[in-house]
Structure 1
Amino acid sequence: MQNFDWTLIQSFLSVAQTGSYSAAARASGRSQPTIGRHIDQLQTQLGATLFQRITGGYALTQTGTALMDHAQTMQKAAAQMSMITAGRAADIRGTVRITASEIVATYILPELIADLLAQEPELQIELVATNSTENLLLREADIALRMVEPNQLDLITRKLGAIPVGLYAAQSYLDRAGTPQGFGDLSRHTLLGYDKSDLMIRGMAAFGITMQRTDFAFRVDDQVTYLEAVRAGVGLGASQQRQAEIYGLVRVLPDLEIPPLPVWLTAHSALRTSARVRRVFDFLSETLPKRL
């Protein structure tokens, strides 16, 4: 294939992995027309149809499926080349990309990053607030803060501690609805749950409490919106202890021992030889445990 352009393969992978041009555009940061143009160019250069239109998006053709392994190999090779060059950076300057959960990224990291940038004025930070797992091996992030222990190879991982979690409510809600006196009292209260996620349902099942999605009168998957709803007095909801105390929330049913959330700090091993990534990694290792 003449005049090969790696960006065409990147767009091909984005569509293959997300199933639509619009989702691929959001995932890659490119526009939807650009994604479509890249796919057309790649199919023309290859002389083959890579996707077929289905309800709600696109699916790989037989030829597209056959190309996936090769395209993913190229993606990994490109990521490795990027990590090798980044890993040789000797100066504490340039960009470090951090991914963390919505709560950690919103309520904990900004103050720490402010201190870090004050100490390292030539450093730049990109913060990705998401509960999805960013792939360190593909350079989607340089450093990740996760609530589950990563099991990928070639990663340097350090457990920083655990975040205590409890069931909380705003005083305004308790003044209106009263304080629950036991598990059996929950049925008369407004409970906050998640929309698509079944995490809350599984968590209650661990305590022998069977609940359905409709038992939660307010449901939202976004953790920041969830916490703000508890703060506004919508009802009872789970919260990290430190943030609940800052907001002046009242803990209810203290005998409900919700398992704490472990916090793992992770970076690719090749990036630990980068001065800027090492500086951020070590800074978070030192300061973050004091904020959990």
Structure 2
Amino acid sequence: MLHSMTGFANAAGECGAKRINLDIRSVNHRYLDVQFKMPDDLRYLESALRERVAKHALRGKVECRIQIQPVESGEAVLKLNRELVDELAALNTQWRKQYEGLAKLSVADILKFPGVLSSKSEDEEAFAREVEKLMEAALGDFVAARAREGRKLQEHILERLEAMEGIVDALAELFPHLLQAYLEKVRARLAEAVENIEEDRLKQEFALYMQKADVDEEFSRLRSHIAEVRRIVSEPKGSIGKRLDFLMQELNREANTLGSKAIAAECTQASVELKVLIEQMREQVQNIE
């Protein structure tokens, strides 16, 4: 399934006297770049959570934000970390002796410090399991969101591939008539100068004519690249964004070559229309994982 690199999901739950809010969002990036924004006392979970994200995303800049909030409950029993309180008080006393002007810590200041108060019923292992459970739930929604966006990108690209095929087929059908008209033009030009024409000039005109007449290779390569892009987006396997980006460059190269061999305004117009469609696809390919 084709996946976009853009996605968002969130999950929320409660454990003990705390509510956990977890958000995952991602944007385009050349590689997989996972960043976490979470309380310091949850940092020990970062490595395991990072591995979980890596199993579900191959490319993109992924930001995971975890917020912890206390649950308002009249039944909550708080536990005071006396060792931490003693340490804070000792540090405050020491620093006030060392540095003049430092204010004395109030009870409110100490209680606000992370880790001073906690719920007695709070189980660290249970809390970690809840965070991991929420991460899995959010990742499921995250992957689904990227898949939905991927389907839109797939439709967008397939529509433009079909339009490109129409342009190439129409020009290929018209080209023999354009070539005949171009030949008549060259013949008339040569007829006007036939009395004074030199052998080298004749060879140059003939070489130019043959160069502009040979566009079969461009048509063939355009069709081949179009078929390959269609195959990749219709049956995506793994990370396909980089391969598609390369094919966009190849398509653009052939469209430019076709334009440089233009023997009529129709050729130039077809080249421009092809490049517009390729650019539209290229912009969307930047979003594909």
Q: TM-score, normalised by structure 1?
A: 0.20
**More helix by percentage:** 2
Larger Rg: 2
**More strand by percentage:** 1
Q: TM-score, normalised by structure 2?
A: 0.20
